Amino acid sequence: MFLSTYESKIDAKNRVSVPASFRKALGGDDFICVWPSFGKSKNCLEGGSKKLVNSLYKSIRKMKPMDPRRQALEYGILGECKELQFDGAGGRVVLPQKFVDAAGITGEVAFVGLGERFEIWSKERLEEKRAEFMELAAESGDLIEAADIDFDFDDEDVA
């Protein structure tokens, strides 16, 4: 699972280090899948594992083949997605210039873990959006249903 927010610098060749915990969450893959976000007012990149892309593809395939929304999703996710290979120098990837431009990335980036996926933001743009996200989260807290959590305690753990 992709969790937390990590900041990193992007160099002149568009290389950026992917957080170690994100690389671990890929389950052994030596690449990440990334595409420009097409969400309203979200100038960032979205990404995840090949498993995530396969899951999105399966979901899209359930739509009618000639539905223009299906075609748009196929184009927006599958057609724009790039597999970015890690280099041998500690988990860096090279972001395509088109992606860097789309996300407005200049010097610093933020990787934001969102469970099964993550986003890559310009640090400045994320800072601009953070308050908006937190306000909406506060307003939306009642939408989260209580989870049934089964704690498995050993007899020694119970006092």
Contacts of 81 (CB under 8 A, 6+ apart): 33, 34, 35, 53
Per-residue pLDDT tens over the stretch 77-103: 999 999 999 997 779 999 999 999 999
Q: Per-residue pLDDT averaged across 39-51, rounded?
A: 88
What pTM value is reported for the model? 0.86
The amino acid at 125:
R
The DSSP-derived string for 22-88 is HHHHTTT-SEEEEEE--STT--SEEEE-HHHHHHHHHHHHTS-TT-HHHHHHIIIIIIT-EEEE--T
Q: Answer whether residue 151 is part of any domain.
A: no
* Cα(59)–Cα(147) distance, integer angstroms: 25
Q: Answer whether residue 120 is part of any domain.
A: yes
Q: Answer whether residue 125 is part of any domain.
A: yes
* Cα(57)–Cα(69) distance, integer angstroms: 13
Please say if the pLDDT value at position 39 is more than 80: no
Give the per-residue pLDDT at 158. 46
Assign 121 to helix, strand or coil: strand
Q: Answer whether residue 82 is part of any domain.
A: yes
Q: Answer whether residue 12 is part of any domain.
A: yes
Kindly report the CATH number assigned to the domain that includes residue 128: 3.40.1550.20
Give the per-residue pLDDT at 159. 45
Q: How far is CA 77 from the centre of its chain?
A: 12
Q: Answer whether residue 13 is part of any domain.
A: yes
Mean pLDDT of the chain: 91
> Above pLDDT 90, what percent of the chain?
75
Please say if the pLDDT value at position 118 is more than 60: yes
Q: Answer whether residue 155 is part of any domain.
A: no
Count of domains in the chain? Answer: 1
Q: Answer whether residue 62 is part of any domain.
A: yes
Give the per-residue pLDDT at 154. 58
For residue 41, the enclosing domain spans: 5-141
Give the per-residue pLDDT at 144. 85
